[in-house]
Amino acid sequence: MVHHTMNTNNSSAPSASSNNKVMTTAPTRPWRRRHGILMACIVGTLAACGSVTLPPPEAPPSRPLAPPGPATGSPAPAVLDAPTGTPAVTPDSPAWRWADSQPLPAPLQRGKSTWQPVRWSELPGWGHDALHQAWNAWLRSCERPAPPLGPLCTEVRQLSIAGATEQHDWVMRRLQPYRVQAPQGEVPGLLTGYYEPMLDGRRQPGGTHQTPLYRLPAGVRLGQPWYTRQQMATDPAAQAQLQGQAIAWLADPLDALLLQIQGSGRLRVTEPDGSQRTVRLAYAGHNGHPYQSVMRWLLDRRLVREGTWEALRAWAAQNPERVDEMLWSNPRTVFFREEPLTGLDAQFGPRGAQGVALTPGRSIAVDRDSIPYGTPVWLATPGPVAQLRRLVLAQDTGSAIVGAVRADYFTGWGDEAYTLAAALKQPLQLWALWPRAQ
């Protein structure tokens, strides 16, 4: 998955994590509020969106990151990793004493970051996390492990049903914590959030459902421009190649644009017999044209005064005859593939840039030039929206996720996930947990 951030500049490539959000104050329907976050991508560059699903044959699209500031409506749920009860390990535990008695290795240089070795006692909240909740994400990373981390995966699997103390002991004996810093020293970190949208669609067009979501047509070639968004809607030759390629039909063309910018999402689809089921639409490719911001188009023509979802929605409602003109200002169209969403798959998010399914609350998008995919990371943020001190896995990336101490936190799907993702924009500290030299 890949994200975008919200600004008024243009960008040619979508991305996975983003962090600027647009606020909605008077939604006319529930889904309009839920998807206000996605306007971050519509009103800004693809760098404004966060995570991308990793699909062949090309890099995944951007997925929108939550815009800044709390979302309108119900307040974001408080997420607290405050120490409660008896910790699994303490500084007096044998494994902890052993780990902190070992000589510290030399610092590591990781492209855009410096990894400074530290003692376990320097990790705020260590010993109190429910590590078993992170183990599912770790097992997912073991499906595509980075070379230095792969040899640990046999033991990771064996410990999947171990107790909290045993898991903490193993982590301390096998991994060395490194404080992630910018090469130039202390730089404020930033944590934002992203989520997986949920939309309603129909398998056949009818009534208000007239906006198609397409599979990848046979004529699309990687790196070669195909028909533009406008041509796909008006050119008989383009429409002939799209015949029979619609996966589903949406009631609102803006929903389709948002999903295309996001790169993936869940779709509650109504079948011709009236039955409903939920599927995932994953990124399959795009038509080879650069992304252009529709909000930039509106602002440049002074059709709106503010680059917000509310302003765009109000303008569209007052000018329905110009909505296509606005949408066609962005020539890029994203194509999807339908994936079943049942059983275990429904408990995880879409695949991130590492190529593994994301785990709500335990997967983050990072700058891959700072932290390699699959790295276990200790994350600490003081709030105000979420007070977190927990183990997460670096499994995604995004064009807006740039720098050493920068992460986008995958919150899941649904209303609560949206509300949290939309509100997250707060300080961050990261520690990479890397295999000890044997």
Dist CA 292 CA 12 (whole Å)? 7
Domain 94-193+347-435 CATH class label: mainly beta
* Per-residue pLDDT, 25: 27
pLDDT at 19: 34
The pLDDT score that the predictor gives to residue 350 is 92
pLDDT at 197: 85
Find the distance separating the first CA and the last CA of the chain, reported in whole Å: 34
What pLDDT score does 438 carry?
73
Domain boundaries, the chain: 94-193+347-435
The span from the CA of 346 to the CA of 19, in Å, is 25
| Count of residues making up the chain | 438
Residues in the chain with pLDDT < 50?
A: 2-74
Interatomic CA distance for residues 333 and 356, integer angstroms: 25
Neighbour count for residue 275 (Cβ, 10 Å): 9
Q: Report the DSSP pairing between strands 363-366 and 386-396.
A: parallel
Task: State residue 222's pLDDT score.
Answer: 85
